[in-house]
Amino acid sequence: MITMLEAIRQALHDELASDEKVVLIGQDIGDFGGAFKVTQGLVDEFGEQRVADTPISESAMIGAAIGASMVGLKPVVEMQFIDFLACGYNQLVNFAGKLRYRLGQGASLVVRGPCGAGVSGSAFHSQSPESTYLCVPGIKVVYPSTAEDAYGLLRSAIQDPDPVLFLEHKFLYRRIKGEIGKGPIPLGQAAVRRRGNGLTVVTYGACSHTAQEVAEQFGDQVEVIDLRCLQPLDEACLFESVKRTNKVVLYHESQKTLGVGAELSARIGEQLFEYLDGPVTRVAAPDSPVPFSPNLEKFWLPGAEQLAQACQKLLAY
């Protein structure tokens, strides 16, 4: 059994070992091992040419990765905190995301790093910005919740011919453990974490664990689907579940307004309206920055109590 952090490190190691085109770049990822020690020890085995420290410039890091990908390399860029991806927004969105559409050649790169709240990181170190990038054509968005998924999905992301944003919830890094598989897990396949017949909870990331805990309170009434990949989305798995249960709760940590749940709600309303026996329900964070105070942050996070109340209300509808 290994932690999610160790699974990510193992995925990076195995891709470096199996493909000499894979390179890692980022701030302090060499001798220091990265802000969370994800890359610890990799520079000793693979050298500074393949595990390269960079200046503190997210725009330069992603720009360098785009150039490296165009000459045949497969760069993996580490953000110390995914919040600072905003500093490289132009490079990721207007260059990496559009490269295949402009030139017919994709940018085979991964941008990965820690996201999410729950560790008193405050407003600049706690964001879950996935919905910001879901509307960008050409970028895949992956958000694992287990050690096994982190390992397998990261290997697939590195092998993908187009840019992938790989989000790692920092609260899970050292808190969950699991066995890792022997190879990649295909992108775009959701996982049914728990079967039920009364309603479907659709979630991902750290919220997947809370959803499973809450589902236990309702016996066999609540089904839990872990999306794992937000783009490409496993619409078939999601729709099949909602058609059976006829009710759905969309649960995520990012803000409610224009969050992932908003898009899923629109798709369900457009395509599954006749199957619904209750309103599509969203449980998400309020539209505010993440508080620093542990008590305020706990209040801000959409937790088990809030999800349980939403499930109870919808089941009784």
Residues catalogued as catalytic: 125
Distance CA 225, CA 99 (A): 33
Nearest Cα residue to 248 out of 270, 269, 220, 227: 269
Q: What is the 3-state secondary structure (H, E, C) of 204-273?
A: CCHHHHHHHHHHHCCCCCEEEEECCEEECCCHHHHHHHHHHHCCEEEEEEEECCCCHHHHHHHHHHHHCH
Nearest Cα residue to 281 out of 248, 315, 235, 317: 248
Q: Alpha carbon of 50 to those of 5, 19, 110, 147, 198: distances in Å?
A: 20, 11, 15, 24, 50
Could you tell me if residue 107 is left (phi over 0), alpha (psi between -120 and 50 degrees) or otherwise beta?
Answer: beta
N- to C-terminal Cα separation, the chain:
42
